[in-house]
Amino acid sequence: MQERIGPYELEQELGRGTMGRVHRAHDSRDGRPVAIKTLSLGSEFQGYALDEARTRFQREAQAARRLRHPDIVDVLDCGDNGTLAYLVMELLTGRDLTTHTRPAALLPVSQVLAIGARVADALAHAHDHGVVHRDIKPANVMIDPAKDQVKVTDFGVARLLDASRTRTGLVLGSPSYMSPEQLAGRAVDGRCDLYSLGVVLFQLLTARLPFSGASMSELMAAVAQQAAPDARELRPGLPDALADVVSILLEKRPELRYADGHSLAGDLRLVASRMRPRAGSDAAAEATLSPVSGGQQRLQADRGEGASDDADALPG
């Protein structure tokens, strides 16, 4: 007999993570294909902590359902059948960005810029509605170039990982992408998501993570104390302005990063525009950074040498 959760009939498993699994499914009422993420709250929490986790899940899931943005996966439904909590989402096509963190599969710089700007837009929308993702990583960004699709997934889940971490003292989730304040267990805001996006951009551009360690303690020390490497050291020829944007995102102190996703998206698109050759000119424009208040940076255009890398780019 086919497994069922509420009106949803589960089909094949699409993936699994720290606390749950994702299945393809369909809504028996209208046949609509969906994706369902199930979370085994009972295996992570007991007693009062379980009741609290269920309440938190419902609150976060309802907040995620209210997000309506073309680059955020739609959360269609949520519930709890007593043993499993579940999120029902639109079923996506394409692939996540994990593939494109490998040296042989790096995307053109122009496509990284376009994807980064759209993820920044999506995060700005979520932050404007009081929702912080807390687990931005390549696996949580789906792309389908044939459909011009970029989708940020897994809103509404990471708060449960944070709660489980607090209970157990373990770091759950994706520590390589976490900001210093998140790894330290301090209060976070949307700027922690922007830091994580900076790690993703660094990896998409260089096929390397900015920080690593042989153990969790070594990784946490590196994230907290070491200066982030310059992406141009690993991939010479990257536009100076792009390397500067990534460096700003990887600042240790939140107030030195971009203040919001809106300004980040604007700067990424400006870098992309300055990589395109001007009409009637053999030279491309290169962007340089000038500081403004609050540690945030804005791009100003100067003439310089550069190369166009726009083939197969997703529109920003």
Q: Any idea which residues carry the catalytic annotation?
A: 135
CA dihedral 185, 205, 92, 139 (to 10 degrees): -30
Which of 179, 142, 182 has its CA nearest to residue 161? 182
Separation between Cα atoms, residue 79 and residue 54, nearest integer Å: 9
Residue with tokens 């739609």, as numbered in its chain: 74
Residues in the chain: 316
Q: Which helix (H) or strand (E) holds 313?
A: none
What type of residue sits at position 298?
R
| 37 annotated as ligand-binding | yes
CA angle 43/8/5 to nearest 5° reads 30
Phi, psi at 77, each rounded to 5°: -160, 165
Phi, psi at 303, each rounded to 5°: -75, 140
Hey, is 90 helix, strand or coil?
strand
Separation between Cα atoms, residue 9 and residue 5, nearest integer Å: 6
Whether residue 223 contacts residue 183, with contact meaning beta carbons closer than 8 Å, is answered with yes
Whether residue 230 contacts residue 239, with contact meaning beta carbons closer than 8 Å, is answered with no
C-alpha atoms less than 13 angstroms from C-alpha of 315 in its C-beta half-sphere: 3
Which of 177, 198, 175 has its CA nearest to residue 258? 198
Binding site per annotation, positions for ATP: 37
Binding site per annotation, positions: 37
